[in-house]
Amino acid sequence: MTRLFMRRLGSILAAASVIFVVFALIGTWYGPALGGAKDASGQLLCNLTVREKLISAAYKVYGAKDQPISLWLAKSVFKNDTPGYIKDLKVRYKLGEFADWCPWQTYPSLLPTQTVVDLYYPILSEKCARLANRTPAELQMECEYLDSSGRKQTLQKSERLTVLGRQEIYFGDLSSREWNGTIQDSLTYGPLLAAWVTKTDLPAAGLAALGNKAAGGVGAYTSVDNCIAVLAQLYEMMRRIHITYQFPAGQVERDRSFDIRYIQTVQYPRDVIQKRSGTCIDLAILYAAMMEAVGIPSRLVATTGHVFPIAVLPNGLMLPVEATGVGGGGTASVGFADAVKIAEKEWQDLQANGQFVMFDCQSLWGAGVSSPELDPLPADILERWGITEAALRDGGVPPQSVPRDPGGAGGAPPQAPPLPPDPGGDGQQAVMVPGNWVIAVTNPGGSQVQGVAQVAVQGNRVQMVSMVSYPVTGPDGKEHRAQEQSSIVGQIQGQRLEAQCSEAVWTLDGTRVQPKGLPYKIQLTIASGGRAASGTVINAEGGSAQLSMQLR
């Protein structure tokens, strides 16, 4: 197992970031060192590498070797360091309570200096899919062989790993040394999102059926016009039950960030419907599941910090939809036509720069990326959640009609109480449109850093996660990739947004470095009907920069 060591040399950078003036520390790296224990010379050498995390939602995928994604869990590299032959090398593995000892994998003989590599593809128990939270597990490796004198030898090794909760995924398995900064390298595990698109699950299928009925009961794939009519009603179903685009309630945790370099919590469609809220990934998956439930092929497009769905029309053309436009169904939401326009512009830009990955849900299901077992729900679950034809016909399901903890877990997200109008203003409260924003920060020297931010709004409260990625030149004379992610919480008072960042994640070539100058304070003036904002940001060390934001 290779390790990358960083040694601090000093501050080499002063560039404006999303909410502060950055002073990043860049170090030099030692060459990779061979990990894993070795026996003494003249023995069979073994280097065991174990994945640090197991994605429990995709537990069915691990056991198949010929998959679009190589999900081996352990790799054993054996080298014959003896002067004679080694015969009948046998290897097997066990993963705690989640996988019993697998059958022996046998290698008839190893010549002197010969190396063999054995990969472990575990057949995992469905216990993995029942995990609500992360849990540790021990992976054991055992091997037997006959040495050159014919004597039987044994070797055992073990490593700890973390089994993620059933709603968690991490998107990439490349080390910072292997990662070249492209979105494709960051999303090697992205296709596993297809396991979350549960088209046959009762809540998603039921809500899709209501949408199809509202479109007149037409066959969704009989014509382009019928397909678009159904797509519009599926989107309207999300608006009518007041599904809100937002970050997790409360402070945004690092392991729940929107940075594809870290663990992401992803809800199943049933959870989004029941809780009436979700991230861009959650809403894209829900919309894709509803499309698939009525026979419309779906795609998921992932780019830095954002995911949106695409429908494949009967004529083969693709229609992107910005699912976050549902915006709670109120004044912050946009209609289906506008949601399509927003997504078409983004899709056009992404095709021009190539910084995206697209996942074909049906193809991935056919290749074995299937959904985990979910807890059974009663047939009338939508009614229990307050979603009925009568309520939808009468103008939509009001958010307050959703019971707390209906059917077992969670409840509707709390609504933040509105602040009184700004006493220094004109008494009008601004509205900041939730969704994806483009940001630009200009430091006093005139240099500028651009990035993206995802904005969620509840009442007068605002949550943002911003991210920028840019090249820097290190003391080694080489170009490195710096990335900054910041979690921001604030309140709208009149036409102004007062916000603060107390948590940030900085990485250099994928390795975390310590943020400086926390907390950062932001003051923005909201303009253009809540679709633009500009102002200043000041860090704790007195550094300041100009910040401008524009809704995509």
In this prediction, residues 422-429 reach a mean pLDDT of 42
Buried b (16+ CB within 10 A) or exposed e, 391-421: bbeeebbebeebeeeeeeeeebbeeeeeeee
Confidence of residue 265 (pLDDT cuts 50, 70, 90): confident
- Dump pLDDT digits (tens) for 362-391: 999 988 898 998 989 999 999 999 998 888
pLDDT of residue 42: 67
Higher pLDDT, 7 or 483: 483
Contact criterion met (CB below 8 Å) for 262 and 483: no
- Topology agreement, domain 6-29+421-551 and domain 44-167: no
Q: Check pLDDT > 50 for residue 5.
A: no
pLDDT of residue 485: 83
Confidence of residue 411 (pLDDT cuts 50, 70, 90): very low
Q: Check pLDDT > 70 for residue 19.
A: no
Q: Check pLDDT > 60 for residue 22.
A: no
Higher pLDDT, 481 or 109: 109
Cis check: omega of the bond before 519, within 30 degrees of 0: yes
- Dump pLDDT digits (tens) for 170-208: 887 765 555 566 777 778 888 999 999 999 999 999 999
Buried b (16+ CB within 10 A) or exposed e, 81-92: bbeeebeebbbb
Higher pLDDT, 252 or 433: 433
**Residue type for position 468:** V
Q: In the chain, where are the structural domains located?
A: 6-29+421-551, 44-167, 183-401
Choose the weakest-confidence range: 221-225, 289-293, 538-542.
538-542
- Dump pLDDT digits (tens) for 512-533: 788 878 888 999 999 888 889 9
In this prediction, residues 216-244 reach a mean pLDDT of 92
Q: Could you tell me the CATH superfamily of domain 6-29+421-551?
A: Quinohemoprotein amine dehydrogenase alpha subunit, domain 2 (2.40.128.120)
pLDDT of residue 528: 82
pLDDT of residue 388: 87
Is residue 490 classed as helix, strand or coil in its secondary structure? strand
pLDDT of residue 419: 31
Contact criterion met (CB below 8 Å) for 215 and 232: yes
Measured from the Cβ of residue 10, the count of other Cβ atoms closer than 10 Å reads 8
Q: Check pLDDT > 80 for residue 324.
A: yes
pTM of full prediction above 0.75: no
- Dump pLDDT digits (tens) for 147-156: 988 999 999 9
The CATH architecture one would assign to domain 44-167 is: Sandwich (2.60)
CA distances from 448 to 18, 408, 442, 445, 545 (A): 10, 49, 4, 9, 10
